[in-house]
Structure 1
Amino acid sequence: MYPRGKSIREGRAVYDTHIDGTDDNDDDVSITVVRSIEEFMRVVTIRSATFIAEQDCPYQEEFDGNDFSASHLVSYVGNEPAGCLRIRYFADFAKLERLAVRREFRNRQMGTKLMHAGVELCRMKGYRRIYGRSQKDLLSYYENMGWKRLEGTPEFYFSDYAYVEIVFDTEPNPKAIKLGADPYVLMRPEGRWDRPGVLDRSAQRSVDKSGTWRS
């Protein structure tokens, strides 16, 4: 259903395979969760090149006020930003949207890999149902990845394209983050719950009974 290959760094989740400082000549595909303003600007650049430049989407419709309430994934070829995906979270479903891949990287199954990474990130958060939308003429692309058209829903229109609603049903990751998890795990950077973060290391400092840090 979803591609697996050398782009999945051994021992790392599919949504956390990019390693900073990768050789620019490396031809491998990697993906990471956006965790900084600089990384988010790469998302802006990719979406601007794809949706605004190629599809004539108005700026205010592309950047719709939802970007700072979402998670974003960025894919790379070597160290070059190549694609992106936005994920938003609701009570009983997550939504994958704004899938974009730069024109020069569209022969690498980049979109499929980003969708797979997005699904896996949602599974790690415990979601069973993932929602999306497809341009009507691209529905078969998503169906080949296991998505289905949401029953009983009509096509709808925005930004000059016809869309249909789609869903992907799955099971949570057996190691999904839940209430009762180690509190240090819940403080770690998004998508890097499997290894200690800066606040884990801060716990090595001692604290007096008043709660004041001391050396």
Structure 2
Amino acid sequence: MLISENITLGITFFATPLRVAQLSPVGLARAQSGLGDISMADCSKQAPLKQDCLRVVPVSGWDDLMKVMAIRSAVYMGEGGRSYLHEFDGNDHHATHILALVDDEPAGCCRIRYFGDFAKPERLAVLPKFRRGRYGKRGVPYEIASYAFSFCAKKGFRTIYGHAVEHLVSFWARFGTSPMPDGSFDIEGYRCVAMSGSLSVPNDAIHIDSGHLVLVRREGHWDEPGVLEGLEHSAGA
């Protein structure tokens, strides 16, 4: 279903209401499959790139982080009217940031923070021009959320937690979460619901025995040899 500008959904596990796509139901298994760069179209084989060339990647450099901040500024501050201090709350340097790109153009993002035995996806935002079509298989918001849940499971987290704007509870329920008892509360004039759910940790999830060099690989790219492994071979040559 294509986006209707008349459909208003709040989207942040979570925060200010934004206008985004109405999504089809999905299963938790789909949300937890795969990791690394999720490519909904094979960008490497398309020249010129097509409009449905969507990639979702973990941020690993300042350039991508600036793209995330630009998206959130446009969406939450520009559209939502949120203040700078409320949006940039001091937690961005303690989190993993996820970036969605359409034809290499910044399209959406989210943030994940970690607390002991659970992870908290939040601040999901999608720019207006990428809400009016189904990029990827199910749209930018779905693909970002799917990647975030998969990412947390790959890191070994078995519990997910977040805050959903009240009328978006059904969206996040499609990823296996449900409202917590006595979980309703207000943030900036919006009724929110605390939600939680279980993740199925994959067999290749990261753990203390994953390998010494695996544990120093680039975040989200644990299946790819890191630069230190190249240095190790050079030193032993």
TM interval, short-chain normalised: 0.7 to 0.9
- Tell me which residue corresponds to 1:50: 75
CA contact 1:126–1:178 (8 Å) conserved in 2: yes
Give CA deviations for 1:30-61 in whole Å, capped at 9, x if unaligned.
Answer: 10000011100111011111111111111110
Unpaired runs of at least 5, structure 2? 1-25
- Tell me which residue corresponds to 1:36: 61
Is it true that 1:164 corresponds to 2:188 in the alignment? no
Distance change (3 Å), C-alpha of 1:197 and 1:87: same
Which stretches of structure 1, 4 residues or longer, exceed 6 Å deviation after superposition? 19-22
- Structure 1 range deviating more: 167-176 or 115-124: 167-176
Distance change (3 Å), C-alpha of 1:24 and 1:43: farther
CA contact 1:127–1:172 (8 Å) conserved in 2: yes
Mapped partners of 2:151, 2:96: distance in 1: 10
Mapped partners of 1:102, 1:83: distance in 2: 6
Query: How far is 1:149 from its partner?
Result: 0.9
Unpaired runs of at least 5, structure 1? 6-11, 208-214
Mapped partners of 1:85, 1:171: distance in 2: 21
Secondary structure in 2 matching 1:32: strand
Superposed CA RMSD in Å reads 2.4
Is it true that 1:70 corresponds to 2:95 in the alignment? yes
Percent sequence identity over aligned pairs:
33
Query: How far is 1:14 from its partner?
Result: 3.9
Mapped partners of 1:77, 1:4: distance in 2: 24
- Report the TM-score when normalising by structure 1: 0.85
Mapped partners of 1:205, 1:15: distance in 2: 26
CA contact 1:47–1:100 (8 Å) conserved in 2: yes
- Counterpart of 1:183 (choices 204, 207, 212) is 212
Query: How far is 1:83 from its partner?
Result: 0.5
Mapped partners of 2:83, 2:48: distance in 1: 33
Give CA deviations for 1:152-201 in whole Å, capped at 9, x if unaligned.
Answer: 12321223322111112122111011112211100100000001011110
- Report the TM-score when normalising by structure 2: 0.77
Q: Give the paired residue count.
A: 201
